[in-house]
Structure 1
Amino acid sequence: MRTGVWCERALRNGQVETGVRLSVDSAGIVAAVETGTQPRPGDLVLDGVVVPAASNAHSHAFHRVLRGRTHTGGADSFWSWRQGMYQAAAALTPELYEELATAVYAEMVTAGYTSVAEFHYVHHRPDGSPYPGHAMELALGRAAQAAGIRLTLLDTCYLAGGFNEPLADGQLRFSDGSAGAWLDRLKDLRHSFEAEFDPAYVSVGAALHSVRAVPEDALQAIAAGLDPDLPLHIHVSEQPAENRDCLAATGLTPVQLLHRHGLLGPRLAAVHATHLTPEDIQLLGDAGATVVMCPSTEADLADGIGPAAALADAGARIALGSDQHAIIDPWLEMRALEHGERLASGTRGRFAPADLHRAVSDAGAAAQGRRAPGFAPGTSCDLMSVDPASTRTAGSDPAQLALAATAQDVTAVVVGGTLAAERGRHLRLGDPGTLLASAAAKLDAAVREGQP
């Protein structure tokens, strides 16, 4: 039985059309599109300007508790920030992570995200012993289900503390001990998720934390043993120190090392890719890989500005993620991508508004192995409507809202043809701020209890 979604105005292929009606099938997929129509009885009516929903291509849900807490004004760096992140990771339990992730995913939905790639490596107990039955992973699946967001759980291989370095105590819970053990657990995890969740909403992908955390012999084993149909993500060249250490240990950059082991390809999503050589850029482009930029996080951590336009010109697909959630706002991520290019190049218009929308929606969905959100038949009916007359957007060309709007202007979010959020409030869970405050307070208490 089909239902209808009627859009007062819709941004399709860079053009604004009026009276766009979508017929949506029982699976939440767009079956047919009409333009210049009026709504029919029973249609979901979306006012304002409707655009494809955002697809968050990189998330660490528990990092959300660090927002607004890591800015001392002293000798802050990525590495000092990481110590606070390890403290938070050490305090997580399956129950606490489910509550926190539910709140974070609810915040994402109200901001306009309808899918998320969760880069997950907090697998085990703090001493490295396993939880029974994939407890941490199932907690994240249930959190996504409660928030109504599509989740691709990127189960992450993490085996070393650095090149030729053992794991530190705070990293023990991340590791399965070997590439073979990780592959075995990943296979069993996929069976568990298939039995528990609808794969159109909750599924499993794979990730390697980084080349510094996955030794070269493990890269070789994973390249040979990993299901080729799984999406594969990896942090790449986020910090110059990573590149220097990789060159010292292997004689290659991280991208070149992945190429050596046959891990570059269309299914690969290289996250950050901030500090690349011209050869790295060409290798990623030739492979048709996705590069996931996280502009708000890269700015917050002083990582640098990655060569997004050069990567796109070389043939790589650019996607966007909110990573550590210094902000959760797909509109600001779009704007920051273009602004970073302008700052680095001194040239405006490196990414047109239509390019920014593709990066935040289609490319992020593709990196998850999911259907694109949008208006065309066969796409997921995942949409967000925007107020074109707010303080921020009034007078703007509707086709250029990517350079004007913020998540505050999102008036409705639709997942699979069903309304999920309105004006910052999650329809099932209420105010995400209340949920986040409660979960953060519990995590703070757990961190204090764990301190000597």
Structure 2
Amino acid sequence: MKGFWCEAALIEENGRPVVATGVRLETHDGRISGLSSGVNAEPGDQVLDGMVFPAAANAHSHAFHRILRGRTHDGRGDFWVWREQMYRSAGELTPEKYEKLATAVFVEMVATGFSSVAEFHYVHHQPGGHPYPERHGMELALARAAMASGIRLTLLDTLYLAGGIGAGGGGTPLSAEQARFGDTDAHAWLDRLSSLRTEVTRAFPREMVSVGAALHSVRGVPEQDLKIVAEHLPVDIPLHIHLSEQPAENAACQQAYGVTPAGLLARHGLLTRRLSAVHATHLTPEDIRLLGEAGATVVMCPSTEADLADGIGPARSLSDAGATIALGTDQHAVIDPWTEMRALEHGERLNSGQRGRFTPRELLAAATQGAAASMATPVMPAALRPGAVCDLMAVAPDSVRTAGSAAPQFVFSATASDVTDVVIAGELVASNGIHRRLGKPGNLLTEALKEFS
């Protein structure tokens, strides 16, 4: 049994989040076993100053894209500049390099307030497409990185078979740069996915590392392979997909299949509550209806969508239709849960000309419960309550950004720089931006990035 005493915290009371002071949490096996408010700390309690929230969950990450930060803006930094650097970075990865890099990236996430991440992983094989001698070398490197950093990991093993949608709906061949992303066919991927699940279950704690599935996109997975996935994918794991990120994707899908990407997934029974559609930036009203009626999750990544000039997705309309909104950091142009929350609302305001598209409560739910529910690791609620995992982040209420802010409205003032303590599974893992075991994220990132051009 361990105790945490919070100066103030967002707790669940009668089914609603409220700000309480003098909150004491008792923990057992990484979960909150008792909660009381209006009390003093007891001897031996870990004191968390400031305002304590549930830790955030990162519903979409490509860890190796962290290499791209500040490196894709030569000239005017158009898409082709970005694409060239992305493929160069992917081509330089090895299991050893990736473990070192991912450890640093995950430490950066932890220090900024994330306690879990869904890693959308497709760099499976050696350059050229040959398997590593250790079958799951790259995947296990990511799992070890997560364990070292203390973050909960849902490893989304990704099916990537085609470089685009060809004439008649067949996939075009993978390019030389994409060869290491691919598998022979959907059956080979399903076999590798099953083997990976077995290995991860054997080697890592279930509440810390688990395996999910992803389809890269309808561009990367031809229709005949979608059918195979729909028929054979185990029903007990989450499924993610990049969906309608670019208008060109929609146009190619319409031309080849006669429907939008969302319509194609619905055609094969893949549009369900367990699906997480990432980006979903360019949707028709019918797409929004389909995603909402399915109760799917839509993962928005506002800072990346802005960096890549993808556009502003219809988050409010999707939420109103019944979809769950979640947040991710994707290519890590910035790793900051508070910035992503705020950017989601700001995008809605810019697109609609109206304020107040999402309440602070809804934005916090997107960064916590909504994102965590898309993963295979335990779900963190949007407010602290007994029985939930003890994943916490404390935020300074008196920084130059937060001073004077009402605690429930920190969404509109706080940044990752204000996160003072992060607790995962009942263990204090970071304080004031420094990982308690591995040190400063900047130092780890600097060393890891030296190995990439």
Distance in 1 of aligned mates of 2:244 and 2:307: 16
Distance in 2 of aligned mates of 1:305 and 1:224: 33
Conserved 8 A contact 1:338-1:350: yes
Match of 2:70 among 56, 68, 71: 68
Partner of 2:262: 255
Match of 1:343 among 346, 350, 365: 350
Match of 1:413 among 404, 409, 422: 422
Aligned counterparts, 1:26-425, within 5 A: 26=29, 28-74=30-76, 76-77=78-79, 79-131=80-132, 132-164=134-166, 165-373=172-380, 374-425=383-434
Question: C-alpha deviations, 1:231-254, integer Å up to 9, x for none?
Answer: 000000001111111111111100
Partner of 1:435: 444
SS, match of residue 108 in structure 1: helix
- Fraction of identical pairs, as percent: 62
For these two proteins, the number of residue pairs brought into alignment is: 441
Q: 2:193 is aligned with what amino acid?
A: L
Conserved 8 A contact 1:14-1:353: no
Question: C-alpha deviations, 1:160-218, integer Å up to 9, x for none?
Answer: 00012111001110011100000000000000001110010011000000000000000
Distance in 2 of aligned mates of 1:208 and 1:3: 41
Conserved 8 A contact 1:33-1:376: yes
CA RMSD of aligned residues (A): 0.9
Distance in 1 of aligned mates of 2:102 and 2:377: 21
Q: 1:308 is aligned with what amino acid?
A: A
Question: C-alpha deviations, 1:73-128, integer Å up to 9, x for none?
Answer: 33602x54122111100110000000000000000000000000000000000010
Conserved 8 A contact 2:129-2:182: yes
Distance in 2 of aligned mates of 1:413 and 1:94: 28
Q: 1:76 is aligned with what amino acid?
A: D
Conserved 8 A contact 1:14-1:399: no
* Structure 2 runs not aligned, ≥5 long: 167-171
Question: C-alpha deviations, 1:25-51, integer Å up to 9, x for none?
Answer: 12x011121111111112111110000
Query: Please, what TM-score do these two structures have when normalized by structure 1?
Result: 0.96
Conserved 8 A contact 1:420-1:428: yes
Distance in 2 of aligned mates of 1:198 and 1:75: 42
Distance in 1 of aligned mates of 2:316 and 2:228: 33
Q: 2:236 is aligned with what amino acid?
A: D
Q: 2:398 is aligned with what amino acid?
A: A
Conserved 8 A contact 2:73-2:81: no
Conserved 8 A contact 2:4-2:46: yes
Match of 1:24 among 23, 27, 33: 27
Distance in 1 of aligned mates of 2:291 and 2:344: 19
Question: C-alpha deviations, 1:367-407, integer Å up to 9, x for none?
Answer: 00333325212211100000000000101111100100000
Question: C-alpha deviations, 1:337-388, integer Å up to 9, x for none?
Answer: 0000010011111111111110001011100033332521221110000000
Conserved 8 A contact 1:22-1:375: no
Q: 2:241 is aligned with what amino acid?
A: I
Q: What displacement does 1:293 show? A: 0.1
* Structure 1 runs not aligned, ≥5 long: 445-452
More displaced 10-residue stretch of structure 1: 374-383 or 234-243 = 374-383
Q: Which portions of structure 1, spanning 4 or more consecutive aligned residues, are displaced by more than 6 angstroms?
A: none
